[in-house]
Chain A
Amino acid sequence: MTPALFVQSTVIGLSIGSIYILMALGLTLMFGMMHIINFAHGAVYMLGAFVIYYVFFQWGAPYFAAFVVAMLLLGAFGYLVERSIYRPIKGGIEPTLVALLALTTLLQAAGYPVFGTLDKHVPPVFSGTRNVLGVMISVERLMIIPIAGVLVVSLYLFINRTRMGAAMRAIEQDKEAAALQGVNVNVVNGLAFAVGFALAAAAGALMAPIFKLDPMMGEQPLLKAFIIIILGGLGSIPGAILGGLILGLIDSIVATALGAEPAFLLSFVFIILLLLFRPTGLFGHAP
C-alpha cells in the first residue's frame, strides 16, 4: 500500500467511523438504560436515508432541512416504538429483543413494496474534492466528520448538562432509585428511544448521497455497530466512540488492501478473539 493510499483510506476510515459512532451511540445509550439491543437500528438508518431521498431529492427541500426532518420524524417513531412495543412487554429482555427483530424485518420487507425495487440514488450534496495531506478526498465524505462531530458533542452536552440527561444517567445506575427520586422512567426511556433512532436516522441521512439506497442497506452498519459496542463495552459511550474510530479505520484500510467482504470477515474474527480474552470489551463493566 502506497503512503497516499494509506492517507486516503485513513481519512475515509474516519468518515466511515463517524457513521459507525452515530449508530453505536444510540445502541449503547439504549443498552445502558434498558439492557436491550435495538435490532431495528439498521432499519431506522435505512429510513433516514429514504427520508433524504424523498424530502431532499424528490421534493426539493434544502439538504439540512431534510436532515432535520429525518431526525425528528424517526425520533418520534422511536418514542412510538417505546410506547407500543417496549413498554407493553414490561422489561422481558428476550421477548423485547425478538419483537425488535420482528420490527426490523417488517420495516425492511415493507421497504420493497413501499419504495420499489429499483436502485435509488441521492445526488451529491457537497461537490468537489479537497487536498488532505497531499491526497484528494471528496468533500462529500469529509463533511461527514464535522457533522457527526457536532451531533456527538450535542449528545454529550445533553447527557451531562441537562436535567433529562441526568435522569438518563440515573436510570442507567439504578432504575428503582431513579423512579423513587421522581424520575418518570417511561418518559425518559421513550426519550432514549427517540435519541437513539434520531442518531441512526442521521447516520443514514449522511450516507444517503454516497451509496445507493436499498431496503436492506442498514444491515451492514447494524452489524458493524454491534461489533463496536461489544468492542467498546456495552453501555459505554466513550467505548462506542473509540470503538467506532478503531473499526472505521481497520475497515477502510483492510478493505482497501483486501476487499470489502474479507474486511468484514476479519472484523468478525477479531471480535470473537476479543471476547475470548476480554468479555466486557474495552470500557465495559462486569455483566
Chain B
Amino acid sequence: MPRSARTAAALIVVVALLTLLPLVAGDYYVYLFALVFINVILAASLRPSLSCGQLNIGHSAFMCIGAYTSALLAKDLGVPFELSLLGGAVLAAAVGLGIGYPSLRLRGVYFAMVTVAFVEAVRLIASIWVPLTRGNAGLSGVPKPSILGMTLATKTSQYYLGLVLMLVVLVILGKLERSRLGLVWKGIGLADNLAQSLGVNIANYKLLAFALGCFFAGVAGAFYAHFIRFLFPPEFGFLLATNILIYNFVGGRGHFAGPIVGAVFLSLLSEPFRGSAYETIFYSIVMLLTILFLPGGLITLPGKLAGLRWWKSAAAESPSPAA
C-alpha cells in the first residue's frame, strides 16, 4: 500500500475508534478524551508560529481570552454557543494581532520574553477585573454548549462536539501547512534573511501565523469554558503555556503529526498525576530527556528504531572484514 493510502487508512481507524469510544468506555474516559482534544487543538495551533521560528511561550493567554470571552458572552448576554465560540476566537485573534504587531519585529529571545510577560499580564487582568471576570473567586455557571439551539446536556454529546472541533481545526491547519502559505512559513523558519531577500514580507507572514494560532487557541478555550463550566485565572498561567510548548517539542517539530502525538502521549501518560505537582515533574523530565536524547521528538522514534533494526540485520548479513 502506498504511504498516503496507509496514512489515510490509519486516520480512518483512529477517527472510527474515537467515535465508538463513548459507547464502550465509561464517563471518565469520555471526560479525559475531551480534555485531550483540547490539548491537541492547543498544541497544533502553536505549530504555525513555531514553524516560522517564533518561540511563543504565551499561547495559554489566548486560550484564556477565548475562554472568558465565550463564557461571558453566553452567561451574561445569552449569546448562542456557536456565536460565543466565534466571538472568543475572534477576540483572541484580534488581541494576537495587537500584541503580535509590535513584538513580531523582535527576534528569537526578545519575542519569547515578551510572550512570557504577556501570559502574566492576561492572567493578572483576569484576576484583577473582578466585576467582569469574578477574579480569583472563579467564574462559575458557564452555560453548557448548544448547537442550533439544542443544548448538549450530556458529557458524551459534548465529547462529540470536541471531537468534531478538533478534526475541523486539524484539517484546516493541515491544509494550510501543505499550501503555499505553509511553505513560506517553513522557509521563514529555516532562513528568514533568505526569505526576505526573495521578496517575502516576513513580518506579515509571521503575524498571520501568530494570529491564526491565537484564533484556534481561542476556539480551544471557548470549548473548554463550556465543557468544564468553571474558569479560574491561575489555570491559564505560565505552566499551561509551557505545557503547550512541551507537546510540540516532545512530539517532534519535523512533522504535522508531532504536536498531536506529543499532546496525546503526554496527556494520557500524565493522567494518574493530573492536577498535582507530579504532573509537572513528569512533563519536565520527559521534556528534558527528549531534548537530550531524542531531539527530533517522539515522531522520529519509529524511524530510529527501524534504522537500528536495519543496521543490526545489515551487520549480521554482511561478512565481517576480517573473514
Contacts and interface: CB of A to CB of B under 8 A. Distances in A.
A102 B106 contact: no
Contacts of A98: 55, 245-246, 249, 287, 291
Contacts of A110: 277, 281
Contacts, number: 115
A112 B281 CA distance: 10
Contacts of A269: 121
Given A103-B284, A271-B117, A95 B106 contact: no
B109 A97 contact: yes
A106 B288 contact: yes
A93 B108 contact: yes
A234 B110 contact: yes
Interface in A13-49: 31, 35-37
A269 B151 CA distance: 41
A283 B124 CA distance: 30
Given A37-B112, A234-B109, A268 B245 contact: no
A105 B283 contact: yes
Interface string A245-281: 0000000000000000110110011011001100100
A99 B288 contact: yes
B97 interface: no
A102 B284 contact: yes
Contacts of B124: 261, 264-265
A254 B110 CA distance: 25
Interface residues of B, number: 42
B114 A279 contact: no
B238 A95 contact: no
A17 B109 CA distance: 23
Interface string B264-287: 000000000000011111011101
Contact of B238 (A31, A103, A219, A287): A219
A178 B22 CA distance: 63
Contacts of A226: 113, 116-117
Nearest to A267: B117
Contacts of B57: 101
Interface string A211-226: 0000000010001001
A106 B284 contact: yes
A68 interface: no
Chain A: interface residue count, which band? 35 or more
Interface in A101-155: 101-103, 105-106, 108-113
Contacts of B82: none
A8 B57 CA distance: 37
B164 to A, nearest CB: 32
B156 interface: no
Given A89-B292, A106-B280, A265-B125, A223 B109 contact: no
Contacts of A95: 249, 291, 295
A93 B110 contact: no
B272 to A, nearest CB: 15
A222 to B, nearest CB: 9
A230 interface: yes
A236 to B, nearest CB: 14
B291 to A, nearest CB: 5
A106 B280 CA distance: 6
Contact of B106 (A36, A85, A113, A279): A279
A223 B113 CA distance: 8
B65 to A, nearest CB: 15
B157 interface: no
Nearest to B249: A98
B103 interface: yes
Contact of A31 (B109, B125, B245, B283): B109
Given A89-B292, A106-B284, A265 B110 contact: no
Contacts of B103: 272, 275
Contacts of A94: 55
A88 interface: yes
Contact of B117 (A108, A234, A268): A268
Contacts of B280: 105-106, 108-109
Contacts of A279: 105-106, 110
Given A112-B277, A230-B113, 17 more contacts: A35-B109, A36-B109, A85-B292, A95-B291, A98-B249, A99-B292, A102-B246, A102-B284, A102-B287, A102-B291, A223-B116, A230-B110, A234-B110, A272-B103, A275-B114, A279-B110, A287-B107
20 contacts: A35-B109, A85-B288, A92-B295, A97-B109, A98-B246, A98-B287, A98-B291, A99-B291, A101-B242, A102-B242, A102-B283, A106-B284, A109-B280, A226-B113, A265-B125, A271-B117, A275-B102, A275-B114, A276-B102, A279-B110
7 tightest Cβ-Cβ pairs between the two chains A and B: A106-B284, A109-B280, A102-B287, A112-B277, A109-B277, A102-B284, A226-B113
Interface of B: 55, 57, 99, 102-103, 105-110, 112-114, 116-118, 120-121, 124-125, 127-128, 238-239, 242, 245-246, 249, 277-281, 283-285, 287-288, 291-292, 295
